[in-house]
Structure 1
């Protein structure tokens, strides 16, 4: 029964990761790269979907985590006698704080829905949305085995999470909101900016990921012969494929953007990137519940 609760917890964490990535990355994308996207139904729906996944994933993770810790079946996740003791533990209070942050994020989303691009361009909305997004990211880094890392490594974890959200979340907005609009002016304005952002993100992720991998794994033998190490290798393979596809998209942007508004080749490349990115998030959910030494 405990393993069943753990499986449901990992499933819920996957939704939590997806929602966090899409919401935080979407907020950054609309605020800095494509404010006019806040006036489009696609842009607003995508951000709303990210919020829904993040909120539901966080609440479900809290409940199934309580059942897992208590050694109870998933059906006991909503039992008060199982839930309430979780709040006596620090990680339980972190989960509760994270839930409250998602409730506050709904206010940010409602304001964007009401004012559109005016909100996305205003410093008040940017500061409020940014503060909530950073809080969501920080609480994400306050759960799991990363808490065993020293203080300076916590900063690296935060930067790692932020860059992942900005890169992958932006990629999903690009695929699901910008490209389907077939707006030549929007593509010319947004794609080069996102392309430059992706290059910086990849460089940052490479450095931060290498440091964290060394901190958590510690040896090549552990990387090759533990479940955690093998999951990390799978994540690295997907990340490598993402780099190849990302390079292909960047090459297209650099050479052909001003010649045509969009092509099937670019759309397919970005779609493949998005699929791999979701795969990376899924593997990350498994990593969170696997001890580095196992």
Structure 2
């Protein structure tokens, strides 16, 4: 505790290497003695850390955000909500950092703060950030929104997120879809409660002329389909598959990858038989380019679910050389 007070006096240090080490030492002390016993108390320490977040040196940024994140995780109630709101704005700047560890720590801290002061203030800050031009900043923002959704429950975030999709701006709409993609990746099987709510947005995105809309929607559907496997959401998934399927002939490699992954998700959640029924129409199409796409999809299906495809092949009678009957499928108890 005495060491903590001693180091607190040095937070005005102007050499960034030294300041970074001081913050690292304070983090270690907080870890050992806990939030409530920390001297100086957290309510005094946090306002001193807020200006340090603006420091551009990587070592200072990393240690400072780690310390703030630790406080937000374990002792958020020891500081006033107004202070956390102020920190939210400073954290947005850290999402631009070159070092991935700093960006990751900043994104996780958003989750801790949202847990402490409620998601609404944090969310409004993040949604405004989707309008910026810088791609890396937008992606970090979408991850932060997804983490807020995971920590506070998706129902706290989805209404505001879906409302934001109505903004007629490409970056914002792509950001919303990307947030949904990360969110469904994080929440897994909880997605079954929200699949019908997001279906209209995904429909709209999959019919959009913009490639990136369709690509991001396909990634979202992949995570969604894998999360709700076996939970009785086949009606919505089948509906979404009808919107994904026309994109199989696209030429953009990123979009094709997303669409094929989404169809792989459907293979898991709807079953390979359903996907095979879509494929049979094109495997012997007169046009070579069409056949090539369909056979590529069939090969993926065959690699992933070879055994489960056996019941879906047509019934053929045995001939003199080959046995085509699958007698094990005809057994009745």
In the superposition, the TM-score normalised over structure 2's length comes to: 0.25
Query: Which is greater in Rg?
Result: 2
Give the number of the structure with larger relative contact order, counting CA–CA contacts within 8 Å between residues 6 or more apart.
1
Structure with more of its chain in helix, by fraction: 1
In the superposition, the TM-score normalised over structure 1's length comes to: 0.28
